């Protein structure tokens, strides 16, 4: 957290000072309503991701855990993979200095012609559909698989090891990732199936990866292991010297996973911006879940008062400024185009936040 956010946390409004209704109302005022003029563009991203989810993820789900498709987590898995996690890599492509050709044409034309937001939205939607139909199929596959994998492993760790000590959870998940622990040894199907799904998604992601892509993928898996270790520390009440409730490994590990499918286009600036977005998402998640979390052993930064409303607001503004900077670093010069990307990002985050509020993305 930067110095400004840290200062805000010391003098800001803690979650304990507000009711749940007041906490949610503040978040909604901060983010604002979705911008209808960007809807064709954001809808196009969703449509492409949904199509790739049906092509690459659903067959694995039907094989490993078919009954989940009729259960609440089946809907949550799709939402987290498609609406939350997969959005970040596609957003980065529109800010890249040398994006894929369909996006490059739309971005350069929209920026230089100073098109209005509605026209930019339609042009961006066309570029996304072309990208989804004609190019980068392997990247589409990897984006949706890593997105589903992140959602599945988080669920498996938290909800599929009832009665298992934290250290044993760590051993099993690490073994699952390394291929040294077979989830089929778990006798309870309700707990076994999500673990089987997680491993199947991991193997599908690894299929055909070589060279630089392989190195990026393996580096992302190292961060997943760090996340597992940090989760165990949080579960057992080990203090976090950073005061972040051992959230950092998950925040950054998620992004390193999402960067790997687009690492050819995503520079370090994009990675750092995505880290900020992931941290902001964690902050509002903990803010919304304050009433539930304070009954747990884990002391989140919202509970300790480090993540006040003002700290969350500062992080939100940082991510908005960050996507503008990222667009300009990618070569954008027109204020309309930069503002369009900012509004598209804000609209998608508003949708995610509403899902968190109702429990779909929590």
Q: Which residues of the chain have pLDDT under 70?
A: 1-10, 361-362
Contacts of 93 (CB under 8 A, 6+ apart): 99, 100, 103, 131, 262, 265
Q: Write the DSSP string, 305-353.
A: TSS-HHHHHHHHHHHHHHHHHHHHHTT---HHHHHHHHHHHHHHHHHHH
* Whole-number Å distance between alpha carbons of 14 and 308: 5
CB 156 within 8 A of CB 198: yes
Return the ∠ at Cα 154 (arms to 286 and 297), rounded to 5°. Answer: 50
**Residue 112: predicted pLDDT:** 84
User: CATH no. for residue 330?
Assistant: 1.10.600
What's the pLDDT score for residue 43?
94
* pLDDT for position 361: 66
pLDDT of residue 10: 53
Length of the chain: 362
Question: What is the domain range of residue 76?
Answer: 3-358
Number of domains in the chain: 1
**One-letter-per-residue 3-state SS of 203-240:** HHHHCCCCHHHHHHHHHHHHHHHHHHHHHHHHHCCCCC
CB 307 within 8 A of CB 14: no
Q: Compute the chain's Rg from CA coordinates.
A: 20
Per DSSP, the residues of 70-115 read GSHHHHHHHIIIIIIITHHHHHHHTT-SS--HHHHHHHHHHHHTT-
CA 1 – CA 5 distance, rounded (Å): 6
CB 245 within 8 A of CB 299: yes
How far out from the chain centre does Cα 268 lie? 17
The per-residue DSSP string of 155-174 comes to HHHHHS-TT--HHHHHHHHH
Q: How far apart (Å, rounded) are the C-alpha atoms in residues 50 and 83?
A: 9
Question: What is the largest distance, in Å, between two alpha-carbon atoms of the chain?
Answer: 62
Q: Interhelix angle for 117-134 vs 39-52, to 10°?
A: 10
∠ Cα 59 353 295 (to 5°): 95
In the structure encoding, which two tokens stand for residue 57, read together? 């993820």
């Amino acid at each position: 957290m930067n110095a400004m956010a840290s200062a805000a946390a010391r003098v800001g409004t803690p979650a304990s000072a507000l009711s749940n209704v007041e906490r949610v109302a503040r978040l909604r005022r901060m983010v604002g309503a979705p911008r209808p003029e960007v809807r064709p563009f954001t809808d196009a991203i969703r449509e492409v991701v949904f199509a790739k989810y049906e092509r690459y993820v659903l067959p694995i789900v039907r094989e490993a855990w078919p009954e989940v498709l009729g259960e609440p987590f089946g809907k949550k898995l799709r939402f987290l993979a498609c609406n939350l996690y997969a959005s970040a890599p596609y957003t980065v492509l529109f800010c890249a200095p040398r994006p894929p050709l369909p996006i490059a044409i739309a971005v350069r034309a929209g920026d230089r012609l100073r098109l209005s937001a509605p026209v930019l939205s339609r042009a961006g939607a066309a570029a996304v559909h072309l990208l989804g139909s004609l190019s980068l199929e392997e990247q589409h596959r990897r984006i949706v698989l890593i997105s589903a994998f992140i959602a599945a492993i988080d669920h498996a760790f938290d909800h599929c090891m009832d009665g298992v000590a934290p250290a044993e959870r760590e051993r099993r998940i690490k073994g699952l990732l390394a291929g040294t622990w077979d989830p089929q040894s778990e006798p309870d199907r309700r707990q076994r199936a999500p673990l089987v799904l997680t491993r199947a998604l991991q193997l599908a992601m690894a299929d055909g990866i070589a060279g630089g892509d392989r190195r990026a993928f393996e580096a992302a898996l190292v961060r997943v292991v760090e996340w597992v270790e940090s989760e165990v520390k949080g579960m057992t009440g080990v203090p976090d010297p950073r005061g972040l409730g051992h959230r950092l490994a998950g925040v950054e590990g998620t992004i390193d996973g999402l960067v790997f499918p687009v690492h050819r286009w995503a520079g370090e600036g994009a990675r750092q911006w995505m880290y900020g977005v992931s941290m902001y998402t964690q902050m509002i998640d903990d803010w919304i879940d304050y009433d539930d979390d304070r009954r747990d052993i884990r002391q989140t930064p919202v509970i300790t008062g480090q993540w006040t409303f003002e700290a969350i607001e500062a992080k939100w503004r940082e991510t908005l400024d960050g996507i503008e900077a990222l667009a300009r670093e990618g070569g954008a010069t027109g204020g309309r185009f930069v503002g369009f990307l900012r509004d598209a990002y804000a609209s998608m985050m508003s949708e995610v936040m509403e899902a968190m509020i109702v429990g779909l993305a929590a």
